[in-house]
Amino acid sequence: MSIRVRFAPSPTGHIHVGNARTALFNYLFAKNMGGKFILRIEDTDLERSTVESENLIYEDLKWLGLDWDEGPIKGGEFGPYRQTERFDIYKKYVDKLLEEGKAYKCFCSKEELEVMKEKALKEGKPPRYNGKCRNLTEEQIQQLENKGLKPSIRFKVEQEEVEVNDIIRGNITFKTDAFGDFIIVRPDGTPVYNFVVVIDDALMKISHVIRGDDHLSNTPKQVLIYNALGFEIPNFAHIPMILGPDHSKLSKRHGDTSVNQFREKGYLPEALFNYLALLSWSHPEEKEILSKEELIKSFTLDRVSKSAAVFDFEKLKWMNGIYIRNKDLVELTKLCIPYLINSGLVSNDYIQENFEKLVKMVESIRDNLEVLSEVSDYLKVYFCMNTDFDDSAKEILGYDTTKSVLVSFKNFVENIDELNEDNYKIAIKEVQKEVKVKGKKLFMAIRVGVSGTTKGPELDKLVVNLGKEEVIKRINQVLNLMGE
Ligand code: GLU
C-alpha cells in the first residue's frame, strides 16, 4: 500500500497548536513510512473561509517546517487541492447517490426542523430528522421545486450500527439513531464536510486519516458514505485532544494557542516541533529532546496514546531554552534583532555598525534566554545603567567591603589598555588579594558596580563587553551615589 496522509485545515485563521500537532503527526507518519503528506484546504464554509487565512496556514506550516508534497501552490496528481475548486466533482457523486436512491431531497423548512428537534428533545430522544421527505414521489418533488423551494439533500441511513476501526482507539460501534438521515448538501447547493471529506480522501487515495478525535463522531457518517459510493475505507487514527493546565480543553483563555503567537513570542520552530510531537506520543526510549530527523525515524502510530495530553507552557519554554542554547550564535543574534528593534532598544544603524558586539552581548545572556522576546530585557543593562537599586542591590552596596572592591577594581581597569577576559581574571585576583574578599562580596559588588543590579549577563562577559571606559564611568557613578 502506498502511504498517503493529509492535513485538511479550514482556512479561518492562524493554525491552532492542536491542529499543528495533527499536521505534525501526519507529516511524521508519512516521512517515517516513505509516504506522501498532502495539504488540502477545506474551504466549503464560504462565510468563514478567507484567502488571507489560507495564506496564514501556508506561512505557519512552512515556519514549523511542515512542507507538503502535494497541495495548493505545489499542485500534484490528485488536485485541485482546494475544496471550492472541486464542486463539480462532488456534484457527480451527489447525483449518483440520488439516482441510486441512497440520498433524497428534503424540503422541510428550518422552522419545521426546529419543531421536530424540540419534540425529540422533549421525548428524551436524540434530535434527528424524522424522515418526512424520505419517500416523496417524483411528482411531489417536481411540485415543490416548481414552487421555487430549494431542497437540502439527505443521506439515507439504513443501517442501525456502524463499526469504526481505529488504530488508536480500537473498534468502536456507533448507533446511527444518534444522527439519522443527515444532510450532505445544503439548500444553497454547498456540500457539507462529512460528504466532501469522503470524496476527497477517496479520490486523493488517502491511506490513513489521522485527525483529532473531535472528529470521531463524524466518522460513522463518513463510513456510511464510503460504503454507499463503493470506496475503500481508509485507516483511521483519531488522536486525543490537548488540554490546558487546568485539564479543560486547550483554548485561548489558557494563553497563547496559535502557532503564530508562539512564533511572535520568540519560540524557535524546531522547539515547538519537538514539543508538539510529545503531546500524546512518546519516544521508545522516552527521549525528549529530539531533532526532526530523529522524530521522523522513531515516529509510529502505535506509540500514540489514547489519553489527552496536557499542554505544559513551562515545559515548552524550558525546551525552547535548550534549542536557544544549541543554536549557532550568529544565527541566534540575527533572530533576536527584530525583538531588539521592536522594543526600541537599538536601531537598525546600531546593528549595522555593532553586529559583532551584539553577538557577544547575546552570548553573555544566552544561558538565561528562554524565549527570544526576553532578549531586550536581558540586554538592557548594556545600554543603560540602572541606578534605581532594588533591595538585593542595596544589600550588596551596604557591605562594608563593597566600596573598596569597586575602587580597587576601577584602579586596575584604569591601568590597562583594553579589557579582555584574561586581564579581567587577573583583575579579580588582584582585588581579591588587596581587599581580602571572595565570593558574593567580591563578584556581586562588581556586578552591582557595573550594572546597578544583582542579576544579568555572565559577569566576565558583561564587564568585557561594556569595555574599559564604560566600566570606569559606571563604577564612578555608583561610588558617587554611595556618597564618595
Ligand atoms: N477541515 C476539518 C478540520 O479542520 C478537517 C477534518 C478532517 O481531518 O477530516 O477540522
Tell which of 182, 217, 239 closes a domain.
Answer: 239
Query: Which of 47-56, 167-176, 301-310 is the least confident region?
Result: 47-56
Does 185 lie in the same domain as 156?
A: yes
Q: Which of 62, 252, 315, 438 is catalytic?
A: 252
Answer whether residue 127 is part of any domain: yes
* 429 counts as catalytic: no
The predicted-structure confidence for 273-288, as pLDDT tens digits, reads as follows 999 999 999 999 999 9
What is the predicted pLDDT for the residue at 444? Answer: 97
What is the predicted pLDDT for the residue at 484? Answer: 53
Out of 42, 49, 225, mutate this one to test ligand 1's pocket (max ligand atoms within 8 Å of CB): namely 42
Answer whether residue 404 is part of any domain: yes
Does 209 lie in the same domain as 92?
A: yes
What is the predicted pLDDT for the residue at 477? Answer: 96
pLDDT at 189 > cutoff 80: yes
Q: Which domain holds residue 63?
A: 4-83+242-313
Does 229 lie in the same domain as 252?
A: no
CATH number of the domain where residue 368 is located: 1.10.8
Does 332 lie in the same domain as 265?
A: no
In this structure, which residue's CA is closest to atom 10 in ligand 1?
9
Answer whether residue 321 is part of any domain: no
In ligand 1, the atom with minimum distance to the C-alpha of 8 is 5
Q: What is the mean pLDDT of residues 310-325?
A: 98
Out of 25, 45, 53, 211, mutate this one to test ligand 1's pocket (max ligand atoms within 8 Å of CB): namely 211
Q: What is the mean pLDDT of residues 108-127?
A: 91
Does 65 lie in the same domain as 33?
A: yes
Q: What is the mean pLDDT of residues 7-28?
A: 97
Does 59 lie in the same domain as 79?
A: yes
Does 78 lie in the same domain as 176?
A: no
61 Cα: distance to centroid of ligand 1 (angstroms): 16
9 Cα: distance to centroid of ligand 1 (angstroms): 6
What is the predicted pLDDT for the residue at 120? Answer: 87
pLDDT at 109 > cutoff 70: yes
Residue among 281, 287, 286, 328 nearest 307 (CA): 281
Out of 37, 43, 197, 199, mutate this one to test ligand 1's pocket (max ligand atoms within 8 Å of CB): namely 197
In this structure, which residue's CA is closest to atom 3 in ligand 1?
9
pLDDT at 271 > cutoff 70: yes
For residue 151, how many other CB atoms are within 10 A of its CB? 18
For residue 230, how many other CB atoms are within 10 A of its CB? 8
In this structure, which residue's CA is closest to atom 5 in ligand 1?
8
What is the predicted pLDDT for the residue at 483? Answer: 82
In ligand 1, the atom with minimum distance to the C-alpha of 9 is 4
Tell which of 187, 207, 239 closes a domain.
Answer: 239
Looking at residue 203, its amino acid is L
280 Cα: distance to centroid of ligand 1 (angstroms): 19
Answer whether residue 174 is part of any domain: yes
Answer whether residue 319 is part of any domain: no
Query: Cα separation of 466 and 455, whole Å?
Result: 16
The predicted-structure confidence for 134-183, as pLDDT tens digits, reads as follows 999 999 999 999 999 999 999 999 999 999 999 999 999 999 999 999 99
What is the predicted pLDDT for the residue at 127? Answer: 87
Out of 24, 38, 193, mutate this one to test ligand 1's pocket (max ligand atoms within 8 Å of CB): namely 193
Answer whether residue 320 is part of any domain: no
8 Cα: distance to centroid of ligand 1 (angstroms): 5
CATH number of the domain where residue 184 is located: 3.40.50.620
What is the predicted pLDDT for the residue at 263? Answer: 98
The predicted-structure confidence for 78-98, as pLDDT tens digits, reads as follows 999 999 999 999 999 999 999
- How many domains does the structure of the chain reveal? 4
Residue among 409, 404, 402, 365 nearest 383 (CA): 365
Answer whether residue 249 is part of any domain: yes
The residue count of the chain comes to: 484
Does 398 lie in the same domain as 374?
A: no
Answer whether residue 322 is part of any domain: no
| CA 147 centroid distance within chain | 50
32 Cα: distance to centroid of ligand 1 (angstroms): 22
**pLDDT level of residue 126 (50, 70, 90 thresholds):** confident
CATH number of the domain where residue 446 is located: 1.10.10.350
**pLDDT level of residue 222 (50, 70, 90 thresholds):** very high
10 Cα: distance to centroid of ligand 1 (angstroms): 7
Does 230 lie in the same domain as 155?
A: yes
Residues with C-beta less than 6 Å from any ligand 1 atom: 8-10, 42, 197, 211, 215
The predicted-structure confidence for 335-372, as pLDDT tens digits, reads as follows 999 999 999 999 999 999 999 999 999 999 999 999 99
Tell which of 262, 279, 313 closes a domain.
Answer: 313
Does 217 lie in the same domain as 333?
A: no
Enter the pTM of the model: 0.94
pLDDT at 428 > cutoff 70: yes
In ligand 1, the atom with minimum distance to the C-alpha of 42 is 1
Does 90 lie in the same domain as 235?
A: yes
Does 177 lie in the same domain as 162?
A: yes
Q: Are 206 and 135 in contact (CB under 8 A)?
A: no
42 Cα: distance to centroid of ligand 1 (angstroms): 7
